[in-house]
Structure 1
């Protein structure tokens, strides 16, 4: 069985590709690369085809994570059938995702910060607007760790 995880933010150039890359690194480090498939997408269409933002590139480079194949794409209804988890970054993303999600979809739809035991915030702020990529990195890392633990527990990995 392969568990499929999709990270989603507004433009798919800052938070969701950061989460995709950092989660993939954690999955690989845990030896689960063949059991968990990871991708990211946007709720908005203005960055389609673009690589991650240079701030996200710097964070991923710092962690030795390759982002060369990452390109912004738009989430579609088919993603709710193709993925087991659809993970939004903030409340606005969740509203968009809930509106898109087919009524019969069994997908787990949650915010990334839902996987952090001690929540200091419920949203991952968008560094495109805040400029604070270090804060986003810290929150994304904590959320990815919690998500991986939840998946490992649920699927006995």
Structure 2
């Protein structure tokens, strides 16, 4: 990616656990460096089962413990228009990365990357905490916070 993205979407399976955390912490990281008003941030899921629902209460709680409120976000499914609207699509795991790559129209210019690969340089998934404990949600929230800061540092030099 040659230019810094003007729009970023974070994508997981249902858009109620990981991607809302990624969205929230990217907003926070951009705000910390004064770029919150210049970069559009959103999240979505490759599946639409939870469309219209708020994030999982455990994600809301874990985010709140780290200083952000994600409770007003609402789940939605990735649409074909997202491949035009967003410069950068960040998949939270390799299955969603493959799904995004297969859904991308041939003419799409969106860069599709794995969240942890962009943040930390390794092809690892952000673990799905859905069937886990409060500690699993807290660990994912912390990973998303640190990953978002690294992504902002790498993409915007801030």
Q: Indicate the RMSD between aligned Cα atoms, in angstroms.
A: 1.8
Rounded to whole Å, the distance in 2 between the matches of 1:40 and 1:100 is 16
Conserved 8 A contact 1:13-1:52: yes
Stretches of 4+ aligned residues off by more than 4 angstroms: none
Aligned to 2:77: 74
**Residue 130 of structure 2 aligns to a residue in which SS?**
helix
Conserved 8 A contact 1:2-1:36: yes
Question: Which of 51, 54, 59 is equivalent to 1:56?
Answer: 59
Deviation at 1:34, TM superposition (A): 1.5
Instruction: Give the TM-score of the pair, scaled to structure 1.
Output: 0.90
Q: What is the total number of aligned residue pairs between the two structures?
A: 153
The Cα offsets for residues 79-123 of structure 1, whole Å up to 9 and x where unpaired, read as 01000110000011011101111112111100100123364x610
Aligned to 1:130: 132
Deviation at 1:59, TM superposition (A): 1.6
Structure 2 portions without partners, runs of 5+: none
Conserved 8 A contact 1:77-1:102: yes
Rounded to whole Å, the distance in 2 between the matches of 1:139 and 1:27 is 16
Rounded to whole Å, the distance in 2 between the matches of 1:118 and 1:82 is 26
Aligned to 2:104: 101
**Residue 130 of structure 1 aligns to a residue in which SS?**
coil
Question: Which of 110, 135, 145 is equivalent to 1:141?
Answer: 145
Deviation at 1:64, TM superposition (A): 2.9
Deviation at 1:148, TM superposition (A): 0.7
